[in-house]
């Protein structure tokens, strides 16, 4: 069951209230407290190794040398995430000491249910918006197989026959798992007629003039030579290699790792401020509303 949770997390992490997994991101490795293992066969095995270690908070499974070498990194302290190549990472519950629970009042209890295992209780917490911790009572407890979900867990208290833990959510996994738009024709200074082709490009997967880097709806990062950001005003004319422009209709957010709903003038989407760059959730265009998402290298205010 635990392995199913790890595998399913990579399929549905974007739908979870608390993302547990990410591709392309990991944590700084500290040789004095973290450990790594070679020749680990799979992501599931790496995750299971972390679950079997009561001091482990997160893991990273990576491949190197054309996938000949595999490594499993186990982390006992989590700092700010960093980008990594050919890697997949995940977190596990930060279990409280045996026989300890959250010292919570009735106002801190988000929900309650019955589950057969502590892992099922943990999974339920992950699926519930606002849940930060859980306590599951064993079959011989006063409340057998009861699962309590908490909105806060600032203090702890003793309990009989219980298993408790805090969830380790990954902030903004899209900051590490994104697609790239980097065509030079996408820059707000490029004119559609400047190369003599007079070609207008669109970010619509079914268009005859689909942009080379466009892969349909999803998270994207603007990179050179296209630019670094989306412009906050309409480039106008035939710039960005198109006749219909999608641009950020407002200002970029300032809060780190928070996904913000925004308008791209012709489309709705989101923007996330990551560490030194922005990631945008961009929707595939449609036959009734063609446009192209523009990029710029000019500093944003």
pLDDT (tens digit per residue) in 133-187: 999 999 999 889 999 999 998 889 999 999 999 988 888 999 999 999 999 999 9
Q: Return the structure tokens found at 286.
A: 């449609």
The pLDDT value recorded for residue 300 is: 78
Q: How many residues does the chain have?
A: 301
Phi, psi of 270 (to 5 degrees): -140, 160
pLDDT at residue 87, rounded to an integer? 95
- Looking at residue 6, what is its pLDDT? 47
Over residues 122-142, the mean pLDDT reads: 91
The answer on pLDDT for 10 being more than 60 is no
Reported as a pLDDT band with limits 50, 70 and 90, residue 13 is very low
| Per-residue tokens: 261 | 């709903």
Rounded to 5°, the CA angle 173-176-177 comes to: 80
* pLDDT tier at 195, thresholds 50, 70, 90: low
Which pair of structure tokens corresponds to residue 227?
């630019």
Q: What percent of the chain has a predicted confidence (pLDDT) above 70?
A: 91
Own/partner pairs, 263-268, CB within 8 angstroms, 24+ separation: 264/230, 264/291, 264/293, 265/234, 265/291, 266/291, 267/291
Mean pLDDT of 76-83: 90
Q: What is the pLDDT of residue 192?
A: 80
pLDDT at 163: 93
Average pLDDT for 236-248: 91
Residue 262 has pLDDT above 60, yes or no: yes
How confident is residue 4, by pLDDT bands cut at 50, 70 and 90?
A: very low
Enumerate residues 6+ apart whose C-beta is below 8 A from 145.
114, 115, 116, 136, 137, 138, 139
Predicted confidence band of residue 288 (pLDDT cuts 50, 70, 90): low
Measured distance CA(103)–CA(190) in Å, rounded: 60
Measured CA to CA, the distance from residue 32 to residue 125 in angstroms comes to 32
Looking at residue 197, its pLDDT comes to 64
**Residue 124: predicted pLDDT:** 92
Average pLDDT over residues 121-142: 91
State whether residue 272 is helix, strand or coil: strand
Please check the confidence at residue 290 and state whether its pLDDT lies above 80: no
Burial of residue 141 (CB within 10 Å: 0-12, 13-18, 19+) is middle
For residues 4 and 123, the model is more confident at 123
259 forms bridges with which residues in the sheet?
272
What integer pLDDT is reported at residue 287 of this predicted model?
56
Q: Which residues contact 188 (CB under 8 A, 6 or more apart)?
A: 227, 231, 235, 239, 240, 294, 295, 296, 298
Residue 285 scores a pLDDT above 80: no
What order do you get walking across the sheet with 94-95 strand by strand? 94-95, 162-166, 133-137, 146-150, 109-114
How does residue 95 score in pLDDT terms, banded at 50, 70 and 90?
Answer: confident
Q: Which residue has the higher pLDDT, 12 or 61?
A: 61
Cα end-to-end span (Å), the chain: 49
Q: What is the pLDDT of residue 297?
A: 93
Longest Cα–Cα distance of the chain, Å, equals: 78
Q: What value, to the nearest 5°, has the Cα angle with vertex 244 and ends 240 and 247? A: 65
Tokens representing residue 190 in the block: 């490029």
CA distance 203 to 17: 29
**43 pLDDT above the threshold of 60:** yes
Do 73 and 29 contact (CB within 8 A), yes or no?
yes
Give the residue ranges of DSSP H helices in 81-213.
118-127
Most confident of 103-107, 108-112, 203-207: 108-112
Q: What share of the chain is helix, strand, coil (3-state, %, to 5)?
A: 15, 35, 50
């Amino acid at each position: 069951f635990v392995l199913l949770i790890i595998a399913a997390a990579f399929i549905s992490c974007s739908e979870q209230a608390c993302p547990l997994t990410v591709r392309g991101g990991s944590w700084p490795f500290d040789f004095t407290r973290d450990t790594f293992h070679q020749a680990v066969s799979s992501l599931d095995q790496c995750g299971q190794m972390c679950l079997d270690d009561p001091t482990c908070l997160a893991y990273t499974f990576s491949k190197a040398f054309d996938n000949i070498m595999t490594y499993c990194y186990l982390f006992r302290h989590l700092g700010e995430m960093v980008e990594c190549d050919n890697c997949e990472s995940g977190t596990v519950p930060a279990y409280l000491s045996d026989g300890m629970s959250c010292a919570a009042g009735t106002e801190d209890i988000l929900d309650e249910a019955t589950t057969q295992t502590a892992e099922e209780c943990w999974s339920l917490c992950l699926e519930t918006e606002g849940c930060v911790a859980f306590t599951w009572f064993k079959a011989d407890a006063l409340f057998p197989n009861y699962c309590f979900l908490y909105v806060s867990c600032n203090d702890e208290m003793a309990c009989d026959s219980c298993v408790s833990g805090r969830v380790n959510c990954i902030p903004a996994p899209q900051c590490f798992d994104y697609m790239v738009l980097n065509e030079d024709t996408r820059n707000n200074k490029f004119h559609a007629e400047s190369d003599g082709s007079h070609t207008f490009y669109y970010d619509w997967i079914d268009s005859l003039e689909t942009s080379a880097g466009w892969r349909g709806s999803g998270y994207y990062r603007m990179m050179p030579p296209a630019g670094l950001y989306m412009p906050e005003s309409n480039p106008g004319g035939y710039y960005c290699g198109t006749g219909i422009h999608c641009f950020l209709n407002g200002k970029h957010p300032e809060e780190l790792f928070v996904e913000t709903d925004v308008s791209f003038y012709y489309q709705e989407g989101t923007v996330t401020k990551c560490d030194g760059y922005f990631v945008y959730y961009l929707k595939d265009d449609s036959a009734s509303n063609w446009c192209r998402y523009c990029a710029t290298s000019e500093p944003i205010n």
